[in-house]
Amino acid sequence: MTAQPPPRRPHRPRTGRAVTGATRVAALLTTTVLALLPAVPAHADGSGIRPQQWGLDALNTEEAWRTTRGAGVTVAVLDTGVDDRHPDLVGNVLPGKDFIGFGAHRGDRPWARHGTAMAGIIAAHGHGPGAADGVMGIAPEARILPVRVILESGDTAREKARGTRGSALAEGIRWAADRGADVINLSLGDDSESAHAEAGEDAAVQYALAKGAVVVASAGNGGEKGDRISYPAAYPGVIAVTAVDRFGGRAPFSTQRWYATVNAPGVDVIIPDPDGKYYQGWGTSAAAAFVSGAVALIRSAYPELTPAQVKSVLTRTARDSPAGGRDDARGYGTVDPAAALAEAARTRPADPRRATAGYDRRYFGPGPEPRRPDAEPARWLAPAGGVAGALALAAAVLLRRTPRTAPAEH
């Protein structure tokens, strides 16, 4: 059998007591660390959680909901799986596809944690009287299409997946596009030293764009580890998302590279978990999920806009733009769903046959500087081979009164 790049993993930085980070299984990025910290005053059932969702206020979500809440849109979440029985997601999760085929199952601790968290950020609808408990997603009426392309780092089958399911991401992207996904969320990445562009993945992204799907990916959690290039964020046409904190400052862990498009909340993000409890998470994974939710709102109200037009709308309306309009740390600024919807209303749909038009330039910014003689080898340009990755979200703080031992990785 021809050697394949190992599945990738979600992005997340070190925080608190180190446990481990999601590794190179069906997600994309370097090893990151997960820890459960002293409990935050909140209830495990989700009551009292909503006020802690600062990201909803930061993105002016209530204003965007005056136009749409994401009805009629399908967001494919390519990740570790999604818990369709979580009370905040019941009814919003479609039958999906498992491209790994083995590993943890429902009921096992290392199952669908990262994917459920991302789905919650995108399309959770809360629960209880008036849906006032639990978490609310950016697009609470959108549908989630779960596509399992990676395993949680605590899964004992991770090593097997790493060596035998390297094509899962590319296959999953194509499958999601063929099933009519309007948005494809890739909160995963490979920014290891051996990370490189993989032809099959690149082709799959271009295929999805040509089918009209908007592709969103986390920029990477390598901001404190060398800012190495992360894939799939660096593929042409992808909307790569960096992370900021509640004050709008760049999260230290967030990778700074030419492909940064926009930024979104990625620190102290409240996320749901298959164990029925709620956590705080850190990472560009969360930031990407917020942007996928924003894109879902745009596609719901203006479905005829092409992926290139959606990207353009997001960048033109981003707020708190860096000096000069864009930089590698924060892209064009913080995504603003309400402003993007207003701009979309003024945008004339382009020819759908030119769905990928607007991606003729290789880089969003000036691109990488020429390699100096003493620079590290450009191994990311190597042909397809063993690629590693890590889950981008650091699920860290269990939102309940009694702390508990954390799983190995998430």
Q: What are 269's two structure tokens?
A: 């993000």
Give the whole-angstrom CA distance, residue 231 versus residue 196.
7
Annotated catalytic residue, options 285, 292, 300, 312: 285
| Alpha carbon distances (Å) from 406 to 244, 265, 396 | 25, 24, 8
Residue 373 CB neighbour total at 10 angstroms? 4
Q: What are the φ and ψ backbone dihedral angles of 4, each rounded to 5 degrees?
A: -120, 150
Q: Where are the beta strands (DSSP E) in 39-90?
A: 74-79
Q: What are 2's two structure tokens?
A: 């021809």
Q: Is 300 a catalytic residue?
A: no
- Cα angle at 32 between 22 and 243, to 5 degrees? 110
Residues 36 and 408: beta-carbon distance below 8 Å: no
Residues 107 and 82: beta-carbon distance below 8 Å: no
Residue 121 CB neighbour total at 10 angstroms? 35
Residue 90 CB neighbour total at 10 angstroms? 12
Helix or strand or coil: residue 13? Answer: coil
| Alpha carbon distances (Å) from 192 to 23, 104, 237, 389 | 10, 25, 22, 7
Residue 344 is classified by DSSP as: H
Q: Is 254 a catalytic residue?
A: no
Q: Is 79 a catalytic residue?
A: yes
Annotated catalytic residue, options 79, 182, 191, 268: 79
Q: What are 378's two structure tokens?
A: 């450009």
Give the whole-angstrom CA distance, residue 313 versus residue 184.
17
Annotated catalytic residue, options 114, 127, 196, 410: 114
| Alpha carbon distances (Å) from 191 to 102, 212, 376 | 25, 27, 14
Burial class (CB in 10 A: 0-12, 13-18, 19+), 256: middle
Q: Among all residues, which ones are annotated catalytic?
A: 79, 114, 285
